[in-house]
Structure 1
Amino acid sequence: MYQYTEFDRQFVRARAAQYRDQLERNLRGELGEDEFRPLRLQNGWYIQRFAPMLRIAVPYGEISSAQLRVLSRIAQEYDQPTAELFAEARARQDALGPVPLPGGGFAHSRLTVGYGHFTTRQNVQFNWIPLDKSADVMDLLASVDMHGIQTSGNCIRNITSDALAGIAPDEIADPRPFCEIMRQWSTLHPEFAFLPRKFKIAVSGAHEDRAATFWHDVGLHLVTDDSGALGFRVLVGGGMGRTPVIATVVREFLPWDQVLNYLEAVVRVYNRWGRRDNMYKARIKILVKAEGPRFVEEVEAEYRAIVEVDGAPHTITQAEFDRVAASFVAPALAQARVAPTTASDTDTDPAFQRWLQTNVAAHKLPALRAVTLSFKRLGQAPGDATGEQLAQAAELADRFSAGEARVTHDQNLLLPWVRESDLPALWQAARKAGLAKANVGLLSDMIACPGGDFCSLANARSLPIAEAITQRFQDLDELHDIGEIDLHISGCINSCGHHHSGHIGILGVDKDGKEWYQVTLGGSDGSLLSGAAAAGKVVGPSFSAAEVPEVIDAVLDTYRRERRSAGDRAETFIQTLRRVGLDPFKAAANGARIAAQEVA
């Protein structure tokens, strides 16, 4: 992991002290709400439906056990609303009511407190911290080199990467040093503090794109040219929201040392020409789509001016790259020779074998493995982690992964430095903590935003829909029979649950003040399983909350009926969908809706 310098620490602590002064002046009435709002947003503090929401930056997903313990403390000591506030939230939830389940029963929202929430962009959020305690939390975060700087606002947000960065067997080069250099360059960049809209960058260093780069404002792929030189393929203009757009390749090869100069050109052109009169048309994807080749020409002209006139001021020197890269060497345990272990009863346990299949990934170092801890279980919203679970994850990271974990795009935690010989012991310890469910990559390992239970922008709740689907698909045999599948749920068109890229996507919509849900099929984030990045297609009119589980069931029944097998492997859901087309699935979804209405 990157090790903060003394300058880094002074910077973050000074920022926390500055925020405390701003907060105290606001609470005394000396700094009005209009003046305070942009200041708190620049430090990651939103005001949501009922309470402040804090978004904490976890750059490119890397997090230490010490940081996890501080997050655990924040969850247990600070993520606690007043009784009056919680009663207000509960009353709204009761007014909306639970989601009836097919065959009886109900799925409820989970207005739980004392939780952290892993996001799809490798951040961590809290939903109930009182604003008058927010400066205390900032000081706690600064004590372990964490903050919320630029996790909000119209600026360059948290830079994300592959959760397997630095350890993937198919890696061309480790993207983490570049991510860190970009983080330092973009933090409080004076020219880019007030862009037309937020700006997101994702970096991939492997042959497989596990960072969803085509869905970002800028996506960067580490590649080599014919001579073996390292550089970047540059993508610009991806994004979700009400207008899903796949990014355009604007440079097939950019020398690695020029990436900051080129980013400066891209963001400068966007800052100059991006729309500020309409927030829905202000993202760079709209500018790229509208201007096409003209946008690329202007970026190239700006880049030439930066290099030829300004002297390429942000060229990354080899010395600077080496300084940053020195923080990303493999820990000592990765180099140690590990004696082979004897077989144990665990090795033949079917549950352990299933966990190896779903939760354990290959590593570039033969003696090691990458292990995902699954937080997805019945009664717990996707992405949520209790204070106790955060502390348990810290213990597992210390025992088995050199004190390091990764927040994943799929809202779990990954341990990147696990000895293969330690897998049985890790499985036993993770199972005891409730973090070893063998469902990673399967249907119940879904992505979901907090939705209308917490977010003031949401049109509908996400969490009871996630709960209803989880209740329906609890049997691990059935989940493994269905196989790998991405189910993504968003509570509104802002797409924080990435519904556009789900093989099955669910979007909450408002119809006459009531909650309804659109279902899309065939989306892709660009991974090897999913194929080329693509937005899913709507299968029909919106469905009521009670109909959604029936629709998902009908869609999956269609897949099981239509799929083909080759040897002992069956087609995945997305492979079958692309082979047979949307029509059979669409008919099944709409048939389920009609059947549910007749029963009602």
Structure 2
Amino acid sequence: MYKYDYIDQTLVDQRVAQFKDQVKRRLDGTLPEEEFRPLRLQNGLYHQRHAYMLRVAIPYGLFSSEQLRTLALIADQYDRGYGHFTTRQNIQFNWVELEQTPDILAELAKVEMHAIQTSGNCIRNITSDPFAGVAGDEFVDPRPICELLRQWSTLHPEFAYLPRKFKFAINGSAEDRTVLLCHDVGINLKKNAANELVADIFAGGGMGRTPILGALIKEALPWNLLPSYLTALLRVYNRFGRRDNIYKARIKILVKALGPAEFARQVEGEWLQLQNGQSNDVNFTQAEWDRVAQHFTKPAYKVLPPQADLAVATQFAAQLDESERIGFLRWIERNVKAHQVPGYASVVLSLKPHGTAAPGDASSAQMRAIADLADRYSFGELRVTHEQNLVLADVEQRELLQLWQAAKKSNLVLPNIGLLTDIIACPGGDFCSLANAKSLPIAKAIQERFDDLDYLHDLGDISLNISGCINSCGHHHVGNIGVLGVDKDGEEWYQITLGGDQGNQASIGKVIGPSFYASELPDVMTSIINTFTQNRDQDEPFIETYRRLGVVPFKEAAYRTRTPHQETRVD
């Protein structure tokens, strides 16, 4: 993984010193809150419902066992013993004290981490495929491009005060695992007929109040021209993006208003002026690629015989008792993924224990255990996924049983990846001051209702995403089943969407009708799932059944759960 050079480390260390002085002046009253607020947001510090929350960047989802141990230390010394991994491949600490935040940033700087640009109206943490570099369907490893763009965008003076926050996702595989089309800019890397690295650029995607899928505005852009083209794109947005209305300030509103073709035309015009008016140093060079790419070479893989994961599992499972054998084989089926290198596999560690912790939460003890697992089984590296789980990318197939047994001790092997209880959820009203309703109790209630792993495996792939407000931090719009918390006269209600999807067939879910009380949701989910099982064709996935049947039978089933005395609220 990428290692800081002198420039990187100096920038981060200086940032820590600056913020330490800013916090000191805030505490002694010489820096008023209205002036301090943009400064703390530039360093990832929010003031939430109960305390300050610090959001730490994990660039493109890649980090080391040493860094994870530092996150565990921070959780113990400065928080309440846990951290929350987010859909943006960050980690959040929800209970930090203002006066201690410079010390936290100093601890992060020791292991080449920071919280720069994890908030504010700037280019946020760049996200990518959690299986980058090892995925079997990969065209190109996107991590060198991710790192080059991270360096290009960090503290970029021209884009420090955009109309609103700005999010990039970068993919390099046949299957999109980045939710590419729901970002302000999605970059799809590929090779052209001459085997040259090029990028398709999608712009204007986003969720929140106005969910929109991004539009293709540039095809086959040579990789080295990304900085100049993206500069032109951001200049058009910076110039014409709405600053008078926070709800209409995202680039998706501008692209929709102009139309994708006109927006692309304006970007092309700005790009032409930029190229004519500046030297080539505005773009990437081969030397820059070489400097960064050296950090993303393959680890020291052993020469191992290629075997199917299931065949390896069956061989090892013979030594287990029946219940353990079933659990291990299910884990192989759901949590173990194909690898580019013969004899290796990638393993997803579930952070979705049924009803015992919030989705995406990891205790400090779990973090240290996972760091040990990474050192022992995966070259000391980890990934965080959009779905709020962690990945050991480079595990020898012959060590899968040992890993499973070790990870089981820390409650990290629930075989529910991609299933109904692998829920994406934001912190919601328990923590976030923006939330209209709680997310975590809803996730817990649904996990408890659907706790039968036999049944979950029979259901197959179903994504369930929960957001506590319209900002959609839980990405409810792209869940096969989405839950959105809404406020109605001071009460918490929940709106259901169906038909959302991520990946190559990305789609935005549709609201099925009036919202429900929290207590109704487990029964509503049961009715929706029962409708699916009664109408599916053989092993048809939920999303395909929904697309074939349409919303009507699911909607009718959901509202039959209501008794006559229950009030229906119109949203």
Report what 2:338 is aligned to: 362
Q: Which runs of 5+ in 1 are unaligned?
A: 80-112
Report what 1:110 is aligned to: none
Q: TM-score, normalised by structure 1?
A: 0.91
Report what 1:93 is aligned to: none
2:436 is equivalent to residue 459 of structure 1: yes
Report what 2:480 is aligned to: 503
In 1: Cα distance, 2:306 partner to 2:146 partner: 35
Match of 1:475 among 439, 452, 455: 452
8 A Cα contact 1:550 1:593, kept in partner: no
In 2: Cα distance, 1:313 partner to 1:291 partner: 31
Report what 2:506 is aligned to: 533
Q: Deviations over 1:334-381 (max 9, x none)?
A: 245479997464578121111000000001112211100011112200
2:289 is equivalent to residue 321 of structure 1: yes
Structure 1 residue 25 displacement after superposition: 1.4
1:251-400 map, 5 Å: 251-292=218-259, 293-332=261-300, 334-337=301-304, 343=316, 345-346=318-319, 349-377=325-353, 378-400=355-377
Report what 1:543 is aligned to: 516
Q: One-letter code of the match for 1:374?
A: S
1:290–1:245 distance in 2 versus 1, CA, 3 Å: same
In 1: Cα distance, 2:299 partner to 2:515 partner: 50
Q: Secondary structure at the match of 1:547?
A: helix
Q: Deviations over 1:502-533 (max 9, x none)?
A: 00000000001000000000001124xxxx21
In 1: Cα distance, 2:243 partner to 2:414 partner: 46
Q: Deviations over 1:86-120 (max 9, x none)?
A: xxxxxxxxxxxxxxxxxxxxxxxxxxx32100000
8 A Cα contact 1:55 1:126, kept in partner: yes
2:121 is equivalent to residue 154 of structure 1: yes
In 2: Cα distance, 1:249 partner to 1:77 partner: 46
Structure 1 residue 229 displacement after superposition: 2.3
1:254–1:512 distance in 2 versus 1, CA, 3 Å: same
1:505–1:343 distance in 2 versus 1, CA, 3 Å: closer
Report what 1:100 is aligned to: none
In 1: Cα distance, 2:564 partner to 2:464 partner: 23
1:219-230 map, 5 Å: 219-230=186-197
Report what 2:68 is aligned to: 68
8 A Cα contact 2:352 2:360, kept in partner: yes
1:201-216 map, 5 Å: 201-216=168-183
Aligned length: 556
Report what 2:78 is aligned to: 78
1:330–1:227 distance in 2 versus 1, CA, 3 Å: closer
In 2: Cα distance, 1:374 partner to 1:27 partner: 40
8 A Cα contact 2:467 2:473, kept in partner: yes
Q: TM-score, normalised by structure 2?
A: 0.95
Structure 1 residue 185 displacement after superposition: 0.3
Q: Secondary structure at the match of 2:282?
A: coil
Root mean square deviation, CA, Å? 1.5
8 A Cα contact 1:306 1:312, kept in partner: no
Q: Secondary structure at the match of 1:506?
A: strand
Report what 1:419 is aligned to: 396
In 2: Cα distance, 1:350 partner to 1:595 partner: 44
Report what 1:248 is aligned to: 215
In 2: Cα distance, 1:313 partner to 1:596 partner: 69
8 A Cα contact 2:62 2:383, kept in partner: yes
Instruction: Tell me: higher relative CO, structure 1 or 2? Use CA pairs within 8 A at least 6 residues apart.
Output: 1
Q: One-letter code of the match for 1:580?
A: L
Q: Deviations over 1:546-568 (max 9, x none)?
A: 01111110000000000011xxx
Q: Secondary structure at the match of 1:515?
A: strand
Q: Deviations over 1:451-501 (max 9, x none)?
A: 001000000000110010011011100110111111000000000000000
In 2: Cα distance, 1:435 partner to 1:167 partner: 22
8 A Cα contact 2:63 2:382, kept in partner: yes
8 A Cα contact 1:57 1:146, kept in partner: yes
8 A Cα contact 2:436 2:469, kept in partner: yes
8 A Cα contact 1:370 1:416, kept in partner: yes
1:476–1:344 distance in 2 versus 1, CA, 3 Å: closer
Q: Deviations over 1:278-309 (max 9, x none)?
A: 00000000000000122111100111112222
In 2: Cα distance, 1:174 partner to 1:115 partner: 32
Q: Secondary structure at the match of 1:266?
A: helix
8 A Cα contact 1:288 1:295, kept in partner: yes
Report what 1:443 is aligned to: 420
Q: Secondary structure at the match of 1:231?
A: strand
In 1: Cα distance, 2:205 partner to 2:319 partner: 45
Q: One-letter code of the match for 2:465?
A: H
In 1: Cα distance, 2:337 partner to 2:164 partner: 37
Q: Which runs of 5+ in 2 are unaligned?
A: none
Q: What is the identity percentage for the equivalent residue pairs of Structure 1 and Structure 2?
A: 56
Q: One-letter code of the match for 1:200?
A: K
Report what 2:497 is aligned to: 520
Q: Deviations over 1:26-52 (max 9, x none)?
A: 111121111111111100000001100
8 A Cα contact 1:261 1:312, kept in partner: no
In 1: Cα distance, 2:32 partner to 2:491 partner: 35
1:399–1:442 distance in 2 versus 1, CA, 3 Å: same
Report what 2:156 is aligned to: 189
Report what 2:18 is aligned to: 18
Q: Deviations over 1:55-85 (max 9, x none)?
A: 0000000010001001111111110xxxxxx
1:441–1:394 distance in 2 versus 1, CA, 3 Å: same
Q: One-letter code of the match for 1:322?
A: D
In 2: Cα distance, 1:444 partner to 1:596 partner: 30
Report what 2:7 is aligned to: 7
Q: Secondary structure at the match of 2:371?
A: helix
In 2: Cα distance, 1:433 partner to 1:345 partner: 23
Q: Secondary structure at the match of 2:347?
A: strand
Q: One-letter code of the match for 1:307?
A: Q
2:565 is equivalent to residue 588 of structure 1: no
